[in-house]
Chain A
Amino acid sequence: MSLYDKFFPPRIITLDNGKRIEEKRSRAPLVIFILLALSAISVKVTGFRLSTIITRGNQFWVILGRMFPPDTAYIGEIWDPLFDTIKMSIIGSLIGALIAVPMAMIASSNIIKSRMVILISRLALSIARTLPTLVTALIATFIWGLGTTAGTVAISIFTFSYVGKLLYEQIETVGMGSFEAMEAMGCSRIRAFWCAIIPQVLPGYLSNSLYCFEGNVRYAAVLGYVGAGGIGIIINTNLGWRDYSRVGMILLVLFITVVVIEYLSFWLRSKLT
């Protein structure tokens, strides 16, 4: 009997034939109480004030208003950074998704028997996932210099951690029958994994990778802030000059690009299932 049941004893239901069964009390009130308490603490800690949002909020509309009409003449200077952004997302997503496969394999407890290997590979995935992409990009600019290489590396690492985690969780839920059959006929575990597990997880893996790519286009747009190339650089510059009509044009182009890519990706993913 748990502590909760001691304070809130279960209701005992007696049937007509004298059989009794205990109905445990709902945990929902406790969960709601904890959530409210945590919210209250976070408001206190962060110094959040609703009044600030209301009094300063109209500034948002002021800036947004200055973005109209967008400076259409500026579009000639947008193309290059925009394509840099897309290139970074595509190459980064591709590299990350590919290196996620072997990592996910050695992180799956149904494929690998050694607890140590699983622990280390999952730790590697967790660390890669904990690093904010912006921070990874910043570090990458120190190593590879300013430009798209740093951005590509940052996106690869994020994709690797995200797709890797989803993939190993998926691998752990597949039917192991065909894997067992391959092992019984004398296959090594790697070959059995490739022939028996991959066909089962492939549609999910491709779908997750595409979904991750969609998000990466948006991430890539802000990486320019830390000098990792792409459209973020010109957004940063123009915000600095308070040239809001140019910023408006950049955001408009970015919006259309993201919508098109998300639509394409959605269509591809619907073909996969």
Chain B
Amino acid sequence: MIKFDHVTKIYPNGVKGLDDVSLSINQGEFVGIIGLSGAGKSTLIRAINRMHNIQGGNLNVDGIDVEGLKGKELRKFRRNIGMIFQSFNLVTRTTVIRNVLTSFVPDLPFWRVLLGVYPYEAKIRALESLDKMGILEKAYARVDQLSGGQQQRVALSRTLAQNPKIILADEPVAALDPVTARAVMDDFSRINRDMNITVLINIHHVDLALEYVDRIIGIKAGRIVYDGPASGISNQNLEEIYGGDLAKVGNSAELAKKERA
């Protein structure tokens, strides 16, 4: 269970990334987070595995106080959380299987990492993980030869090989065409259902979000403005999340710029 209790994140330039956010997500939920660019979607997701620090409130994941973690504890904690990125973040100059094998790197002896010699069981697990995503035959191809959709599947295999309880996905389909995006969303849905993995997904495509996820969290300028079932969301809710008039949209664009800077 992920529990945000009055969480506040302030960036060094004074912009509030998260503003008094309280919510809880149960194991096995499929949650979509929507909002304008810069509204705090990435910040929310990255606070969970402490890729971002928070300044106020309390963030608890499966009974662990995330802010209290450091060094080795933090790395151990991150082993249970998978992460998926918009630009896949694979090592493109090497083979698919080597990328999936990187998910075992934290637990291997250092000499194995240095020499790149992975145990046989690790290879089998990596190949099984690729098979689950239906790209086993690409295992020994170089990543930069694959299409975007295939690369995102490699990233998903890498995450699955780490056997996570939670998967955080930051705009996983934003760089994909509509058909591939749908296929990848199907993958997320399957992983969520079959393996009871909590999936949190940041997404710009509202239609895709409403179609696939069970629960929507709408965020605006760091505040939660909607939290409820995907089926219960109204046009009025969407207008509130994305800002009804142009002036508000302009304002959020300013925020987005500040957050990036």
B31-39, B70-78, B124-132 - interface stretch: B70-78
Q: How large is the interface on B (under 10, 10 to 19, 20 to 34, 35 or more residues)?
A: 20 to 34
**B84 nearest CB neighbor, chain A only:** A181
Chain A positions 163-209 with a Cβ under 8 Å from a chain B Cβ: 177-178, 180-188, 191-192, 194-196, 199-200, 202-203
Which residue of chain B lies nearest to A202 when distances are taken between CB atoms in the complex? Answer: B93
Quick one: given A180-B51, A195-B91, A199-B94, are A185 and B113 in contact (CB under 8 Å)? no
Contact among A177, A196, A202 for B102, CB-based, below 8 A: A196
Q: Name B83's closest neighbour in chain A (CB-CB).
A: A184
Residue numbers in A under 8 Å from B61 (CB-CB): none
- B78 in complex: contacting residue of A186, A191, A196, A200, CB < 8 Å: A186
Residues of A within 8 A of B (CB): 177-178, 180-188, 191-192, 194-196, 199-200, 202-203
- The reply to whether the CB of B251 lies closer than 8 angstroms to some CB of chain A is no
Return chain A residues, CB-CB under 8 Å to B202. Answer: none
A177 near B87: Cβ-Cβ < 8 Å: yes
Distance A177 CA – B86 CA, assembled complex (angstroms): 10
* Assembly CA distance A200 to B74 (angstroms): 27
Contacts of B75 in A (CB 8 A): 186-188
A194 contacts B83, C-beta separation under 8 Å: no
Interface residues of B in 83-101 (CB under 8 A from A): 83, 85, 87-94
CB <8 Å contact, B51 and A199? no
Q: Does B152 lie at the interface of the complex (its beta carbon under 8 Å from any beta carbon of A)? A: no
CA A195 – CA B112 in complex, angstroms?
11
Q: How far is the CA of A202 from the CA of B91 in the complex (A)?
A: 12
> Nearest-CB distance from A146 to chain B (Å)?
37
Q: How far is the CA of A186 from the CA of B73 in the complex (A)?
A: 9
A184, B76: Cα distance in complex, Å: 11
Do residues A181 and B85 form an inter-chain contact, with CB atoms below 8 A? Answer: yes
Tell me, yes or no, whether B49 is within 8 Å of chain A by CB: yes
**Contact of B89 with A200 in the complex, beta carbons under 8 Å:** no
From A178, A188, A192, B90 is in contact (CB under 8 Å) with: A178
Q: Complex Cα distance A178/B159, Å?
A: 13
Cβ distance B234 to chain A, nearest Cβ, rounded Å: 35
B106's contact among A178, A187, A200, by CB below 8 Å, is which? A187
Q: Would you call A199 and B93 a contact (CB within 8 A)?
A: yes
Task: Report the nearest A residue to B75, measured CB to CB.
Answer: A186
With A186-B74, A186-B77, A194-B114 already in contact, 11 other A-B pairs whose C-beta atoms are closer than 8 Å: A177-B87, A178-B91, A180-B51, A185-B78, A185-B102, A185-B162, A186-B79, A188-B106, A191-B113, A192-B105, A200-B93
Interface status of B81 (Cβ within 8 A of chain A): yes
Task: Flag whether B82 is at the interface (Cβ < 8 A).
Answer: yes
Contact, CB under 8 Å: B105 / A191 = yes
Residue B43 CB within 8 A of the other chain: no
Residues in B neighbouring A191, C-beta threshold 8 A: 105-106, 110, 113
List A contacts of B74 (CB < 8 A): 186
